A and B are shown apart, each in its own frame.
Chain A
């Protein structure tokens, strides 16, 4: 039984996965100029003004080990963090209303590796990114189109939320 479920089962599954879904089963890795720059499923830390920011992470997007903050709903530490994140996101992106900062941008994810943000959170950052990169209006149009193209709708029209993969967006951004 041990041999069957502990060796044969995982190895056969690995074989099928490697043959049928080679990229996915190996972590959906993304290459640029022959170098691995990340995984399409694992978020990265973005805090530079020339990039779209990702969500806050309790582990700073260092995946060993993955974790959330585990702060409770009445945690004073979390309250301070949330207020600080609201303030910094609003001021960096010239928002007048701090309470309009999208929820995922003020709270850390469960895995600490969440690759997504909402399309709203991306659109709020467009002006800052354009300014930092000195983009003209044509480039801005291209960027807005890319945001639109990269926005993932709920899967099969039903499941989950609208979302945008920050790493994929920033890779496209670098190409403009």
Chain B
């Protein structure tokens, strides 16, 4: 009963607050007056002045993409260098050694691509300096990059016969100053109030009641947790991520963190509505996402509460915290995988087979059900283009979206964006399954071992970052492979998306007529959900059958590995 109320509160908050945030963000990005302008307006101007940005200079798709890539390349190099030289840098209170090249490569890639895969350990790997200047910064700017890219795509879809898609530097700066930073400040303070740590002091040595020594790690955690949730980053300050009592001390902090990881992505859907001047269009997208989200929650909860014949228990607590219980752990696991957040408050490796499957399938769909900040929306727009194309084929008309013709070039780019992550997941998993370096990292035998590998590459390609944590990923093989997977999964989509934005912007808008295929009604919502599930299902059913599905049936027979 209590579980049901918590679930309903969470979903209601999402439905009620995301249109409000969406409206606010629309004001910010359309350059209207908004409440944060008097607070941080001066800061925006000084950022432009210092970096020599002309904020009203419009860019075409190539210049915009160039800005995105260049900016991320610099971010990557900077973070890589910070790690491999951390022992020479300040604020290394625990005298941690330099990070190995392959781990530094993986972590730098992970944070610049908004994946935040945790090959690193946190409290035993990275200094406060790297956590702040490296990870926290990338948490902000990688999320801002996602928002900037989707803004360019939205402008491409809603402007007509033009080259200009906005200014990348201005979009990014505004995302940080007016959206991410104010929310992060509020969330940090709320989290510290619940007990999350925020200090620059040394780790503390305690002598326990039973007389053993316990080293208690500390750090400027709350400020990083706030942005890792809001920016759908998800990389933990501590190894155990948001299951750690210092990251997520209470059930209320749990609700705050779980909510903040989905709200911006959900809000952006409504922001899109303001650009389209059609709330109905935005609502259709939101409903499609919400339905898929709800189905995932239902299956996952059912599976987790079902009886496990191997362990002889229903609602197992392995990898879960007492303060959250089963429901909040499962709800988080679905929420963090539909968005590309990837933080965890319970260990996904220990979830029941079908709950693990739901999480994994969410990653495989490409993080489009709400998805990453920005990236979720451009991801689902790609699927919308595919849907109108398929619908167009069925009725024999040139497909259109928002009055713009969808032609061969856009479809090529769409298919490229859909295929790039799929190739990573299947090809890289196949390689990992066939070489000793891939298999020696497994923590579980049997079908669950395959799930560990599959999950890792799905997480990388979807830029999620959550893990079946048993897999020992801090090896040269996995650090490099997963690093490349994240790179392809991020920019293999961003570049085609920008190309679509560029070509769509050039087109003229056909006025709506009785022959127009509507994209704002229930028929379209069902069609979109169908296309997403069919594409995802057809692509990934075979490996899923060999992993979690077969594990589910074997579990029912009581077979252990």
Q: Which A residues form the contact surface with B (CB < 8 A)?
A: 1-2, 4-7, 9-10, 13-14, 16-18, 20-21, 24-29, 35-48, 51, 55, 61-76, 78-79, 82, 99, 103-104, 106-118, 154-156, 158-161, 163, 167, 170-171, 174
Complex Cα–Cα for A17 and B192 (A): 6
Given A74-B353, A76-B560, decide whether A38 and B206 contact each other with a Cβ distance below 8 A: yes
Residue of B whose beta carbon sits closest to that of A41: B245
Residue of B whose beta carbon sits closest to that of A47: B210
B228 to chain A minimum Cβ distance, whole angstroms, is 12
Residue contact A36 to B206, C-beta cutoff 8 Å: yes
Complex Cα–Cα for A117 and B184 (A): 32
Chain B's interface size range is: 35 or more
Given A73-B555, A74-B353, decide whether A103 and B251 contact each other with a Cβ distance below 8 A: no
Interface readout for B317-348 with A: 1 if CB under 8 Å, 0 if not? 11111111100110000000000000011110
Q: When the two chains form the complex, which single residue of A24, A70, A154, A160 contacts B468, counting CB atoms closer than 8 Å?
A: A70
Residue contact A63 to B218, C-beta cutoff 8 Å: no
Residue contact A79 to B176, C-beta cutoff 8 Å: no
Residue of A whose beta carbon sits closest to that of B208: A44
Given A13-B223, A76-B561, decide whether A38 and B214 contact each other with a Cβ distance below 8 A: yes
Enumerate chain B residues within 8 angstroms of A114, measured Cβ to Cβ. Answer: 245, 321-323
Most chain-A Cβ atoms within 10 A of its Cβ — which of B5, B193, B323?
B323
Residue contact A70 to B245, C-beta cutoff 8 Å: no
B470 contacts A by Cβ under 8 Å? yes
Q: Which B residues form the contact surface with A (CB < 8 A)?
A: 2, 5-6, 9, 43, 47, 78, 121-125, 132-134, 136-137, 139-141, 173, 176, 181, 184-185, 188-189, 192-201, 203-210, 212, 214-218, 220, 222-224, 227, 238-240, 243-246, 249-252, 254-255, 308, 310-313, 315-325, 328-329, 344-347, 349-353, 356, 443-448, 451, 468-470, 551, 554-555, 559-561
Given A5-B141, A24-B195, A160-B325, decide whether A107 and B216 contact each other with a Cβ distance below 8 A: no
Given A5-B176, A36-B204, decide whether A69 and B192 contact each other with a Cβ distance below 8 A: no
Residue contact B560 to A75, C-beta cutoff 8 Å: yes
A-B pairs, top 3 by smallest CB distance, nearest first, are A160-B251, A70-B470, A110-B243
Q: When the two chains form the complex, which single residue of B185, B223, B344 contacts A14, counting CB atoms closer than 8 Å?
A: B223
Complex Cα–Cα for A45 and B206 (A): 13
A45 to chain B minimum Cβ distance, whole angstroms, is 7
B99 to chain A minimum Cβ distance, whole angstroms, is 14
Most chain-A Cβ atoms within 10 A of its Cβ — which of B132, B311, B349, B443?
B311
